[in-house]
Structure 1
């Protein structure tokens, strides 16, 4: 276990789990597994994440017979109609839930753009300067973005952007903190690699280098991590792949082909032979882009009942067709009888009811700046670089940060001001200027002991000091390019689709209505492969249980 991981374990209070940590580190042998995967009917797990996929989307399309492939998966498994993200719905905590079994409290991931008071700047290789760094692990984590360069390569340039990698002082040494060092707990990919003899793992996602954290603290969890960057410039169009959902389909098609290549006994590129992964999967972006698109241009939903607009309807059809291609590939290779398929989402999207949409601009950030809780001119973190280019390593240190979408995560530059800042926020709850639109029944401001109990102690450096959940439908922007967002804990953000489909013919369709969390996906996957879910540190720390009603065959 590396030094950063030891420090993290101490900060999480996980020192008591020395035995499982040793097992996680590969210091035991295969005989101390909970079960042997070789004795289990399930040999492979395919995990599919569809950004924006609500439970209501699944229910509607199955009822309307517009997603026949998803319906087939549901018929041989369990559909969880009351599944939710664990508190925040950005892509990082959303995916971390599925692959660590933990919430942000133990995984330590709150957003792809976040803040850590204990870290030093990328340029501070001796860890001798000021602490507190705005950690940005997004499209600018690839070396194409070095010095603010254009994102010209699909693979992000083929390496990390050194200007995006902060430092930490561990046991007296100043060490770089890559995304896999930043995640605070181990992942299912690591456990499968270490506990199933000869196992291979693979994943494909939207950022080429920011998703390195899926490797877990060992840095070695994913054998084949597809390096594809959705924000890279497509030479054919001169734009990135998020400009319109039909363009995003082209990007997602790369990942569909990666999965088919892996099913066919090749690596994700299709250029080399490789064992079929024991654990593999991918993420879709097309639906998310269609949901965000302005309603006036056919994006989003038509009403509060999740009736899809033209773009969303097309996107769901596209995803369903892609699922069919992957399942057909499993069948053609005689793998459908030994592969469990999980379909869910990192996050939903809000608001689906366009009548609730409020875009007054980033009033939360403006209020914090106006009252001097953050720099009054917005000079904080990566928003203030010497060149004006994001994530070029010249951002300011020790500034605090506010991250807003349809939520507000606040790291104050001076933590002693928490009570004063909360008082200011509470005095400006309305939607009238300079109000923050958090005066509704589902809105709240979280701080102090209640925040620490749910998300971890801000004093340790990673957890925000204050979390603001505004009224349902509020997006802290004035942009006309999107009418929906995610990141918070509104129902449309957090209520997700979740289908666990057992191998062909082994189960009959079931529906489970009890509330579950997407953190339960991770221990469910390990148990299906014959492994002890307790090998995941977050599962032990948070008491995460496998999903219910999957124990017995019909």
Structure 2
């Protein structure tokens, strides 16, 4: 009897131990499941994110972000950073003009994939807008800017905020598509799809919206389908403001008036209306806007209190005022999200299309457009500058009288060269290399951070020029060089100098772990696009540029097995 009881007590103890181990295993498994679910939420799997708001404060350097947070001059951005992740080493993918800068954010690709090198480019395969039969010479200087709106027909004044309400037919080139001469609108010009198209196709009931600085030039955001953005706000920054009889870029405080239109568009959309506030509409799944106030303040001359005071990015009065305005605008937008109970389901990404160069005005060099002049005087382009849209009858771009088949040069603080005769490439490179100094007729590209990119190296990075879109040569001059004689600006963008390309990037995701962290890994702004899709639980590889370039989501937001 005693032996049986002893045996039973031993069995009971064993069963109890087994039960305890099973319980511990279940607890650990549950904890692991909870951890996986939390990690999944952070990385987009089973994500609580229902909306993504993308904001581009053009010109916003990482140094601006660090400085204003440290000095408490951007409290709203600081609150967002404290609740999110700041990427301290974010860069543009090779070129920093507005088109490739924004394309990086919404396609996940560099110019090599998206095909957008600048808002003013050249394509050897296209026919002139007036050549509706595609029977003349090919090679067209494509200009998708403020003159893309119908107000600019025949060089007309830009009198309407919406650019006149339609495309300027003189801005739309033609291409042979399956033997048919076909107009090439901006959405036909981009070579890959966008996040807007992918989300509309793969998120049930999705709505998309965006507001930018040119009413019709930014039609490319729609992607090749032409229908990616449900609500593309038609606002033109270069239109004439009746209140001042000037456009909105004359002074940064006037640019604030323009940017306020974009703030109001976002507030309307958060409130369940379209961008105009006139019609009820679902809150967009992905939406956002571009802001120009900081860019205008940075470009303003130091003599007029624009730009920065030193190489440490100490803001001058205009830049300080612009940062304060943008932070206030951000605060209004976030407050509206909270008011509408959307803050806990909306990811917010604050970054920029591009930076601005040079922050250190002591490095500024303005010798005029010595690059174009050298090419002209050497016989590689027309000696009188009669190439592309640089020589029109009215003096205005996109008036319909530009020249086809001429080659083209686009310069700011970079030089993109499409040769009239591609067989002259070796001779042109030799001429450029023989004139690298800043002394006339030099192109001011003799420093350690300057380079001339051409041949296979250029093709590897930007695509093959023989296919028509990619420049034959890219000239990156010394940091601080701007190919202009303009007395109205001391900074520019477009190239790959550090001040152009090193951007602010703050990502807030509801309920994400590690709030307030600073990530120091080097990342590219192309990684924003797959991150947006990841947050909405959509496969990033559906973006064609992501698939082509192997772009990954930002660190901390990748799917993990």
Say whether the fold is shared (TM-score over 0.5): yes
Unmatched 5+ residue regions in structure 2? 1-42
Give the distance between the partners of 1:321 and 1:70, measured in 2 at CA: 9
CA contact (8 A) 2:407 2:418 kept: yes
1:169 counterpart (146, 171, 176): 176
Q: Secondary structure at the match of 2:486?
A: coil
1:365 counterpart (364, 372, 376): 372
- TM-score (normalised: structure 2): 0.91
Aligned to 2:25: none
Give the distance between the partners of 2:475 and 2:79, measured in 1 at CA: 40
Aligned to 1:308: 315
Q: Within 5 Å, give how 1:452-467 maps onto structure 2.
A: 452-467=459-474
Q: Within 5 Å, give how 1:254-269 maps onto structure 2.
A: 254-269=261-276
CA displacement at 1:393 relative to structure 2: 1.4
Q: Within 5 Å, give how 1:509-520 maps onto structure 2.
A: 509-520=516-527
CA contact (8 A) 2:552 2:558 kept: no
CA displacement at 1:392 relative to structure 2: 1.1
Deviation per residue, 1:84-111 (Å, 9 max, x gap): 0000000000000000000000000000
CA displacement at 1:39 relative to structure 2: 4.6
- TM-score (normalised: structure 1): 0.92
Alignment pair present for 1:475 and 2:482? yes
CA displacement at 1:390 relative to structure 2: 1.6
CA contact (8 A) 1:37 1:196 kept: no
Q: Secondary structure at the match of 1:73?
A: helix
Aligned to 2:387: 380
Aligned to 2:94: 87
1:447 counterpart (424, 444, 454): 454
Aligned to 1:129: 136
Alignment pair present for 1:434 and 2:434? no
Which 4+ stretches in 1 moved above 4 angstroms? 36-39, 504-507
Aligned to 1:192: 199
2:334 counterpart (308, 318, 327): 327
Change over 3 Å in CA distance of 1:37–1:79 after alignment to 2: closer
CA displacement at 1:550 relative to structure 2: 3.0
Aligned to 2:13: none
Deviation per residue, 1:484-529 (Å, 9 max, x gap): 0000000000000001111267651111101000000000000000
Unmatched 5+ residue regions in structure 1? 1-35
CA displacement at 1:211 relative to structure 2: 0.1
Deviation per residue, 1:347-370 (Å, 9 max, x gap): 000000010000011100100000
Change over 3 Å in CA distance of 1:545–1:38 after alignment to 2: closer
Give the distance between the partners of 1:173 and 1:37, measured in 2 at CA: 43
Aligned to 2:26: none
Aligned to 2:70: 63
CA displacement at 1:251 relative to structure 2: 0.1
CA displacement at 1:385 relative to structure 2: 1.6
Q: How large is the Cα RMSD of the aligned pairs? A: 1.3
Deviation per residue, 1:366-401 (Å, 9 max, x gap): 000000111110001111123333211110000000
Larger gyration radius, structure 1 or structure 2: 2
1:397 counterpart (404, 420, 429): 404
Q: Secondary structure at the match of 1:81?
A: strand
Aligned to 2:157: 150
Q: Within 5 Å, give how 1:208-287 maps onto structure 2.
A: 208-287=215-294
